[in-house]
Chain A
Amino acid sequence: MHGLVNRAIERFVRDTYGREVWIDTIRRLDLGYTEFEAMLLYEPQVTGRVLAAVAARLERGRDDLLEDIGTYLVSNPQSDALRRLLRFSGVDFVDFLHSLDDLPERARLAVTDLDLPSLELTDHDDGWYCLHVGLPDGHDLRFGPVMMGVLRAMADDYGALVLMEYRGIAESHEMIGIHLLEEAFAHGRAFDLGARGHPS
């Protein structure tokens, strides 16, 4: 698994629950280190073990936790770089939704060995969309809940009013139902093309 994924989990726990909770959790796994390097690769099973340990420590369901991580990734001021990169994909929320199909490719352009699951958006009537999130090969991690969190935070960012539901797994992908109620519901956060975000 790419270090960026593990590092995201680590930053989420550290920034949300504090350093002690993280150190306490990771130490129990006896990995021989307490921090992940964003630019190194790790064994795929490490991520699953870390997630299980964090979920147990915080007494949270795994999907719940993953969704919070997704939201954190976009809305945390310290990881503004990711929010900015996502905002480049679309001038408004609908544009952004349609750009999701390209997201794994965009991620690969930035970090060659970052392998995200396939994403496919289908557009139904009356503001209904369905996002199909591919199940990755080689490990049982599911990105669906993470995408739920990311989408929720991005809707906020664009100022769109959105309802979402997780529809479970069918064949080789997870499904997320998205209902866009109002595209310009609130003033979104500003996005200045030229103001380079400060990567964390």
Chain B
Amino acid sequence: MSVSDDALCGLLDMLCPMHVVLDAGGRVVHAGPTLRNVFAQQPLSGRRFLEVFELRRPRGIVDMAGLRACHGTRLKLRHRERPRIGLNGALFALPDAPDLGSGAVVNLSFGISVVEAVRDFNLTGKDFAVTDPTTEMLYLIEAKSAAMEASRKLNLRLQGARRAAEEQALTDTLTGLGNRRALDRVLDRLMQSEQDFALMHLDLDFFKQVNDTLGHVAGDHVLQVAAQRMLSVLRAEDLIVRVGGDEFVLILVGLTARSRLDETAQRLIARLQEPIDHGGQDCRISGSIGATLSCGYETPDPAQMLADADLALYAAKARGRGCHVLYEPRLCDSGPGQGT
């Protein structure tokens, strides 16, 4: 190469680090620094351009004369080997001259595949020309993805709140309360959105007696009234699920204060203890509650919280009817699992 060719290559290396210089035979005589990085395993020098890259548009070009005729048009190329990455190109047909005469310069870019290319070829900021906005574009893609992800999570929480409302109207045909599946979905959502909540396990007291002495119809009526009364104590965003015959799980969203939990439990029990009229007869029931707060856990786990609330319920029952107990680790010492 003459001095002026060196100068040309230096200029191109700096401004277009993804260029190749082709000789009259269509072979690569020089590749820009970024392409040299990308093709470090199989250097381009000396290889025929059209053997390395498939020209997808314009089609049907097989030789250097054809390539030179593409001067100034948009080229669509694809690397023939894996990863078969797509490239955009622009070709400048060099004027006839002693060395590179009838050769060409092709400048390449990754186009829309740039994100994959940067990842696959481990490109760095230094692989792009200083004036090339690719790094800024990668920044934008990543910044927007992060912002989008945050919005997606917000949407998820908002959608969850809506679904929670729908779920309350669903399911258990007798009481109109949610069922076990609704509970799992709500717990999942609360875990995902990292919202705090209180979980209560509530068991109706004396319900079996009502059922046994007054019959199933009275029992069903009592369940319906009990459900309505519990709902009247809770807020719209809370959830009540009937998990068994006379067992309920209550989720109180956003509740972290022990005092508010106590107060809610007392109101629930008081409402349940009001006599229920069935065909002129007073049915009297009560409720026992075991509760636990998600903010009491390093990493709340729904299964653990259900088990702990259950343990607290067991302790509440042991204290007599109409009591509520907040789970504490020391309950484990006297819990049913310990065989006492």
Contacts and interface: CB of A to CB of B under 8 A. Distances in A.
A29 interface: no
B126 A34 contact: no
A interface SS class: loop
B143 A193 contact: no
A195 B119 contact: yes
**Interface size range on B against A:** 35 or more
Interface stretch (B53-61, B65-73, B146-154, B167-175): B146-154
A19 B147 contact: no
Contacts of A138: none
Contacts of A38: 150, 153-154
A23 B147 CA distance: 26
B150 A193 contact: no
A173 B298 CA distance: 41
A110 B257 contact: no
B145 interface: yes
Nearest to A81: B146
A196 B118 CA distance: 11
Interface string B115-157: 1111110111110000000011011101111110111011001
Interface string A168-200: 000000000000000000000001111111010
B interface SS class: helix
A88 interface: yes
Nearest to A89: B139
Nearest to B158: A37
A106 B150 contact: no
A194 B135 CA distance: 10
With most chain A CB atoms within 10 A of its CB, the pick from B119, B125, B257 is B125
A132 B145 CA distance: 30
Contacts of A195: 119
Interface string A98-114: 00000000100111000
